[in-house]
Chains A and B, each alone.
Chain A
Amino acid sequence: MTAETMPTKLVGQAIKRREDPQLITGQGSFLDDIKLPGMTHACVLRSPYAHAKIKSIDTSKAKAHPGVVAVFTGEDMLDLNPLPCAWQAGRVKNNVNTPRVLAVGEVHFVGDPVALVIAEDRYIARDACDLIEVEYEPLPVVVDAKKATEPGAPQLHENAPNNIVMEWEAGDKAKADAAIAAAEVVVREQIINQRLIPTPMETRGSIARYEPATGEFTLWTTSQAPHVMRLVLTAFVFGIPETKLRVISPNVGGGFGQKIFCYNDMAFTMWAARKIGRPVKFVEDRSENYKYSTHGRDHITDVELAGNRDGTITGLRVTTYANLGAYLSTIAPGIPTTLYGRIITGAYRIPAAYVKVYGVYTNTAMVDAYRGAGRPEASYLIERMVDRFAAEIGMDPAEVRRKNFIPPDAFPYDNGLGLLPYDSGNYEAALNKALEIVGYAEFRKQQEEARKQGKYLGIGISSYVEICGVAPSKWIGLPGEGWGAGLWESANVRVHLTGKVVVTTGSLPHGQGVETTFAQIVADELGVPYDDVVIEHSDTAGTPFGYGTYGSRSLAVGGMAVYRSVAKIKEKAKKIAAHMLEANPDDMVYENGRVYVKGSPDRFKTLAEIALQASVAYDLPEGMEPFLDETTYYDPPNCTFPFGTHIAIVEVDPDTGIVDLKRYVAVDDCGNVINPMIVDGQIHGGIAQGIAQALYERAVYDENGQLVTGTLMDYAVPAAHMLPPFETARTVTPSPVNPLGVKGAGEAGTIASAQAVMNAVIDALSPFGVKHMQMPATPENVWKAIRAAQAAS
């Protein structure tokens, strides 16, 4: 964009993304695009059994295969520690078992890595895997989280009786019990939040290079958090100084949580590169990604919601079995506890609530954060139950929501479940706006008419609230939340002597447009041309330590770190300008890239002039260091709590069970908006993933622990024709937590959408007597729900 076409204020403008030119021309550099001299290729042999003892491994034929450089097994890598679990559930005992880089002695799920082939090219590596002979002794298998805790269930790990990772609770059990016992109405359901596979379009992978002369590793990996990977791999897995590893995330083809975590390929490419003295590349096939990389959700929940016939909700009691898979992934126990149990009451003032969560091991792939991470499960649960309650008492579901919303004057609001207080909100405004856009009253009339003609229309409302910027050290860093450190974010801002601005940040985009958004903020705040601001990221060499991009945190935490650094730059610039203009520093005004003396706007210095002065540095105020260079580690005082209302309209064909999603309306409030185009895009993508859960996607293991949905032939990621256009709008309730007033938008769409669609489907099916059905609402599931309801009535 040229200077002439740029608006004066960029914040709030739909600026085209600076990330795009390379990506639309095929010039991006994703992991598998990287080639290093002498690079070898790795292929992993994986267990075909969900649970088995490894009796023997014979690698001799594979080693003898032409083009094979080396073959390794778990026994070869005993010098590596198991991958760590960095976020355990707070205040309770966690029975921790984490994966080794390659399995040793026993495998616990289909896809567990057993051997590693390194070869001259990926074709040879793949061929040689077929030449490895492994003798297994199969053991009994359990894949269902609730069954895994029952007496007599197959046991995965010695230190986890009944396969329980942890038992965790929040809220007040006695109060919830009393509220339910005293209630006029109690609705009960078992609600299953099915297992999903995140499916970034780029699978995961790693390339490692080792320099024997210095003992230094470089690791390119598809990571949302390269600094954290550096820390974890050096300090925990290898036991080497952190300074011996540089981690680089190249262009990353989507993450959705799956790329936050530490995976075995990061370690084995490093280990093997050192061993063989050549770089090693590993890239997952899609089937490997489905078998081995983390999955999401997978809750079985028994829930009771109590209330009065006037629509007041009085109590909520929840017991959840969270399937965490065969081992604990990097932050797995934190997801169904802090990010789920603590927001189980959603947007409502519920005086008595209690939630108990069992984390459970099963013979399945590890489960960890997937877009929304705990909050979609919580939001689905409460929003489904509010509709269920509304239907039970015969009240309009919009009215029940209005009656129980936390009112605007109740903020900051403590929900009593151990969260920091909700920052700000106007839930009814968002609901009303969504109802108005969709034409709610008019729709109800159409629905009535359609039913008379044998057509089954339904409408579903979802009024959600979620948690972004899960960072404050005073909360998440306390032992009570189990994380043990704050999740602050860093940014360094430097104004070079030509006046060009270089920002380095611990945040990093893999689709979120962080470069564009951050540059908009910096350009506005410093008053410099947008094109004069460069945002550098994704490389531990050259960026300050930071926690990375996930949890909708990049703007509210990372963006704030940038903002703070810019503020410090401006302060220093004012001091230098005062010195240059022989004025009082307290009288200086920073505006539009100039510093002038208050009341005399023509007595000014431009930022470029000041930067030059700061750089050449022969005439600076007494004691001042040269250069405009400021770093911030921003630790926010609170999380932010975006909210909104999404509404879906469906038509169900009762003969086939096919659901036609006819309209989708989303009103979101993520506080102030820096780039509305990017925010809308984030909402769109989030909605798509929630609709996908409601209608299409599910990861299924059979009773032997085989992943039935092991490829995209069976796991139904929606294509364009399977989704409607999205009607998006906003309300704006700035966050008081940060001066930008921003909240976050990366996960809101996913947190809001599944229940909007399911509530619509169940509304459409209400004439048949359907009160609840499990996701996904596939044609067969809908068809069966109709028949089951008819049979019961």
Chain B
Amino acid sequence: MATITVTVNGKSYTSDVEPRMLLVHYLREHLNLTGTHIGCDTSQCGACVVLVDGVSVKSCTMLAVQADGANVLTIEGLAQNGQLHPLQEGFWECHGLQCGYCTPGMIMAAYDLLQQNPNPTDEEVRHGLEGNLCRCTGYHNIVRAVQYAAAKMRGEAVPA
């Protein structure tokens, strides 16, 4: 067992974990933050994407012990004071989700994408989300949702 201290969504947690415990299992099983999902076992699907120290990672491909001392942001920590993040708003407005299973990972990946490139083309959005699989939407409305958020975060009028 190893003792780790992790700040998740602004709250500090100290836990004893097996070294082999995956970060995603730590978040889901230990901290009950079940918004982060698991969709594969080979690091392809991106359902488990969270931010660790500000950058997006696949939390199924990181050990919880490797997050010791880190700052983690999950989907549950994205809305502030009851106010949806522009990405959450964009996904809702643009019908960027259907079953919603990939959505938390997709939103967290898009968060990093927009942080790296606040004014992406549609093509750049598509490439920026290549680590996330959605089986429902065909991505058409996900691209629109991300562009909605990008415009809003730049302080511009949201696209129709």
Are A and B in direct contact (Cβ within 8 Å)?
yes
Interface centre among B39, B97, B127, B133 (most CB of A within 10 A): B39
CB interface residues, B 86-115, toward A, < 8 Å: 88, 91-93, 95, 97-104, 107
The residues of B that contact A17 with a CB separation of less than 8 Å are: 92, 95
A200-B99, A252-B99 known; A24 vs B140 contact (CB < 8 Å):
no
Contact B101 A726 (CB under 8 A): no
Which of these, B35, B39, B47, B138, contacts A688 with CB under 8 Å?
B138
A213 at the interface (CB under 8 A from B): no
Residues 170-200 of chain A: 1 if any B CB is under 8 Å from the residue's CB, otherwise 0? 0000000000000000000000000000011
Instruction: Report the bound CA distance from A510 to B136 in whole Å.
Output: 10
The residues of B that contact A600 with a CB separation of less than 8 Å are: none
**Closest chain A residue, CB of each to CB of B106:** A720
B62 at the interface (CB under 8 A from A): no
CB interface residues, A 576-609, toward B, < 8 Å: none
The residues of B that contact A552 with a CB separation of less than 8 Å are: none
B126 at the interface (CB under 8 A from A): yes
Contact B133 A202 (CB under 8 A): no
A721 at the interface (CB under 8 A from B): yes
Contact A726 B138 (CB under 8 A): yes
The residues of A that contact B45 with a CB separation of less than 8 Å are: 201, 286, 712
CB interface residues, A 208-261, toward B, < 8 Å: 251-256
Which of these, A24, A711, A721, contacts B88 with CB under 8 Å?
A24
Contact B138 A253 (CB under 8 A): no
The residues of A that contact B36 with a CB separation of less than 8 Å are: 26
Which of these, A21, A32, A513, A687, contacts B98 with CB under 8 Å?
A513
Contact A687 B97 (CB under 8 A): no
B42 at the interface (CB under 8 A from A): yes
Instruction: Report the bound CA distance from A21 to B35 in whole Å.
Output: 12
Contact B35 A720 (CB under 8 A): no
| Secondary structure of the A contact surface, majority rule | loop
Instruction: Report the bound CA distance from A203 to B133 in whole Å.
Output: 13
**Closest chain B residue, CB of each to CB of A726:** B140
Contact B135 A681 (CB under 8 A): no
Contact A25 B39 (CB under 8 A): no
Number of B residues, CB within 8 Å of A? 59
The residues of A that contact B88 with a CB separation of less than 8 Å are: 24-25
CB distance from B77 to the nearest CB of A (A): 9
Contact A23 B40 (CB under 8 A): no
A-side interface size class: 35 or more
A20-B97, A201-B47, A685-B135 known; A720 vs B39 contact (CB < 8 Å):
no
CB distance from A196 to the nearest CB of B (A): 12
The residues of A that contact B141 with a CB separation of less than 8 Å are: 680-681, 684
A254-B135, A256-B135 known; A16 vs B98 contact (CB < 8 Å):
no
The residues of A that contact B40 with a CB separation of less than 8 Å are: 286, 711-712
The residues of A that contact B143 with a CB separation of less than 8 Å are: 720, 725
**Closest chain A residue, CB of each to CB of B89:** A24
CB distance from A201 to the nearest CB of B (A): 4
The residues of A that contact B74 with a CB separation of less than 8 Å are: 26
Residues 131-150 of chain B: 1 if any A CB is under 8 Å from the residue's CB, otherwise 0? 11111111111110000000
Contact B47 A33 (CB under 8 A): no
The residues of A that contact B38 with a CB separation of less than 8 Å are: 32
Contact B136 A511 (CB under 8 A): yes
A200-B99, A251-B100, A253-B99 known; A719 vs B42 contact (CB < 8 Å):
no
The residues of B that contact A287 with a CB separation of less than 8 Å are: 41
**Closest chain B residue, CB of each to CB of A29:** B34
Contact B42 A26 (CB under 8 A): no
Contact A201 B92 (CB under 8 A): no
The residues of A that contact B34 with a CB separation of less than 8 Å are: 26, 29-30, 32-33
The residues of B that contact A680 with a CB separation of less than 8 Å are: 95, 141
CB distance from B76 to the nearest CB of A (A): 4
Contact B93 A16 (CB under 8 A): yes
Which of these, B79, B101, B102, B130, contacts A25 with CB under 8 Å?
B79
Contact B98 A26 (CB under 8 A): no
A20-B92, A26-B75, A719-B129 known; A201 vs B101 contact (CB < 8 Å):
yes
**Closest chain A residue, CB of each to CB of B138:** A688
A511-B100, A681-B95 known; A723 vs B139 contact (CB < 8 Å):
yes
Residues of B within 8 A of A (CB): 18, 20-21, 28-29, 32-42, 44-45, 47, 74-76, 78-79, 84, 88, 91-93, 95, 97-104, 107, 122-123, 125-127, 129-143
Q: List 10 A-B contacts (CB under 8 A).
A: A14-B95, A16-B95, A25-B84, A123-B21, A201-B99, A254-B136, A711-B42, A717-B133, A721-B129, A723-B140
- Across the A-B interface, give the 3 residue pairs with the lowest CB-CB distance, nearest first: A26-B35, A253-B101, A23-B100
Known: A23-B100, A24-B100, A30-B34. 18 other contacts (CB 8 A): A24-B104, A26-B33, A32-B37, A121-B29, A123-B20, A200-B101, A201-B99, A202-B99, A254-B98, A685-B137, A687-B138, A688-B135, A688-B139, A711-B42, A717-B133, A719-B139, A721-B123, A723-B138
